[in-house]
């Protein structure tokens, strides 16, 4: 890591000003910029932010620590990332809505965007003055609109020993970079369509569209988002500031479900679906 100039760089999310923080898990700024012509809220020159971590787990540990207890207690977190089940305590937040516990798509092996949007809209409308974090799981693989067909076996996602990630295939030369980029880009479009719904269904002066980390496509010999990587391809994420205005037209359909007695195995299965285990 020394040859890469490793140091504990990056900013905490609490150091910036925002009312609603929309996290697009594993989103690269250049990929977001590439689709700017399709979305009014995406600029061609995407501003960036240096994340405190290269993985969701470490990102949560660093941003949701005791140091930020006051900020967390005044924040509502609508979360689609299963790492919350292992690393977060609902008592530390104004509200922690772990949508992945009841909105998971078993067939796709991932967390779809719409339940996150629905819960975020409902939460913001009920609590318009509280800070809100909305954590989507896209464009992180698996890609919902383009699951790479037979090259990405979704049925093996719940078995960590059989799960063969897109990044392993790319690094091993079994799939082309362009094929992975195309699927990744389609997955980004998929979630941006929902962000569009969100922005016209809530009121907020300052909505920031960002990410916990990004993805590497071979930069410095790295692929995906390995733990403790210092490289900019993974640590530099979007920081796009927009506003939101509720037209009142959209009505959420996903209803909140109270947490059940989720076992460690259940959480592990969700993480395996995403290639974390």
Q: Could you tell me how many residues make up the chain?
A: 277
Mean pLDDT of successive 10-residue stretches along the chain, which has 277 residues: 57 98 98 98 98 95 97 98 95 98 89 97 98 98 76 37 69 90 96 99 99 93 86 96 99 82 57 56
Helix, strand, or coil (residue 66): helix
Closest CA to 115 of 88, 144, 141, 87: 144
The domain 2-273: what is its CATH number?
3.40.720
- C-alpha–C-alpha distance, residues 187 and 71, integer Å: 31
User: Is the bond preceding residue 139 a cis peptide, omega within 30 degrees?
Assistant: yes
Helix then strand then coil, in percent of the chain rounded to 5, is: 40, 15, 45
> Which residues in the chain belong to E strands, given as ranges?
20-24, 48-50, 75-79, 95-98, 131-136, 204-210, 216-217, 223-224, 236-238, 240-244
CB-CB contact of 141 with 165 (8 Å): yes
- 216: β partners: 224
- C-alpha–C-alpha distance, residues 246 and 198, integer Å: 9
pLDDT of amino acid 269: 63
- C-alpha–C-alpha distance, residues 196 and 244, integer Å: 10
Residue that has been written with the tokens 């930069």 in this structure = 219
The two tokens of residue 209 are 């569209």
CB-CB contact of 49 with 236 (8 Å): yes
Residue that has been written with the tokens 């009505």 in this structure = 251
CB-CB contact of 192 with 5 (8 Å): no
pLDDT of amino acid 168: 86
pLDDT of amino acid 163: 46
- Tally of CB atoms within 10 A around 211: 28
User: Is the bond preceding residue 198 a cis peptide, omega within 30 degrees?
Assistant: no
CB-CB contact of 212 with 51 (8 Å): yes
pLDDT of amino acid 260: 65
User: For residue 252, which phi and psi values (nearest 5 degrees)?
Assistant: -65, 150
User: For residue 131, which phi and psi values (nearest 5 degrees)?
Assistant: -65, 145
- CA atoms lying within 13 Å on the CB side of residue 60: 19
Helix, strand, or coil (residue 203): coil
Domain ranges of the chain: 2-273
pLDDT of amino acid 7: 54
pLDDT of amino acid 2: 41
């Amino acid at each position: 890591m020394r040859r890469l100039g490793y140091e504990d760089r990056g900013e905490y999310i609490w150091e910036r000003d925002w009312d609603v923080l929309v996290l697009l898990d594993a989103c690269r700024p250049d990929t977001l910029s590439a689709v700017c012509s399709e979305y009014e809220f995406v600029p061609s020159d995407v501003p960036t932010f240096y994340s405190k971590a290269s993985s969701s787990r470490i990102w949560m540990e660093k941003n949701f620590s005791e140091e930020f207890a006051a900020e967390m207690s005044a924040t509502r977190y609508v979360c689609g990332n299963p790492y919350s089940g292992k690393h977060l305590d609902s008592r530390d937040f104004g509200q922690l809505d772990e949508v992945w516990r009841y909105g998971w798509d078993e067939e796709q092996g991932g967390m779809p965007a719409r339940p996150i949007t629905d819960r975020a809209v409902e939460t913001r409308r009920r609590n318009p003055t509280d800070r809100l974090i909305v954590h989507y799981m896209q464009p992180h693989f698996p890609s919902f609109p383009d699951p790479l067909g037979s090259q990405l076996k979704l049925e093996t996602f719940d078995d960590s020993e059989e799960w063969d990630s897109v990044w392993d295939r790319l690094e091993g030369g079994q799939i082309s970079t362009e094929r992975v980029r195309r699927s990744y880009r389609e997955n980004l479009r998929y979630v941006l369509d929902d962000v569009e719904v969100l922005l016209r269904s809530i009121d907020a002066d300052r909505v920031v569209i960002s990410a916990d980390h990004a993805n590497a496509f071979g930069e410095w010999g790295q692929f995906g988002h390995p733990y403790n990587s210092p490289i900019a391809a993974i640590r530099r994420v979007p920081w796009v500031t927009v506003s939101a205005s509720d037209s009142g037209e959209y009505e959420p359909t996903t209803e909140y479900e109270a947490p059940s007695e989720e076992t460690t195995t259940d959480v592990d299965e969700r993480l395996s679906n995403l290639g974390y285990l």
